[in-house]
Amino acid sequence: MYWKVKFVGEKNIEKAKTLKDKDKIEILKGAIENTYDKENKILWVNVTIFDFM
């Protein structure tokens, strides 16, 4: 399974730049969408983050 994350809003983008590998965040507002590629048998999780801590 693979995750793709998109941060929305200038404030969130600046905060996201300070994150390091394996940092944990709490998503306060966001959207999650699953996409499954049947041909390659891969599940993609797309996360759009509007606010986080």
Mark 28-52 as b/e (b = at least 16 C-beta within 10 Å): eeeeeeeeeeeeeeeeeeeeebeee
pLDDT of residue 32: 95
Per-residue pLDDT of 16-44, as tens digits, reads: 999 998 899 999 999 999 989 999 998 98
Q: What is the 3-state secondary structure (H, E, C) of the chain?
A: CEEEEEECCHHHHHHHHCCCCCCCCCEEEEEEEEEEECCCCEEEEEEEEEEEC
pLDDT-based confidence at residue 53 (cuts at 50, 70, 90): very high
Q: Work out the pLDDT band at 46, boundaries 50, 70, 90.
A: very high
Read off the pTM: 0.77
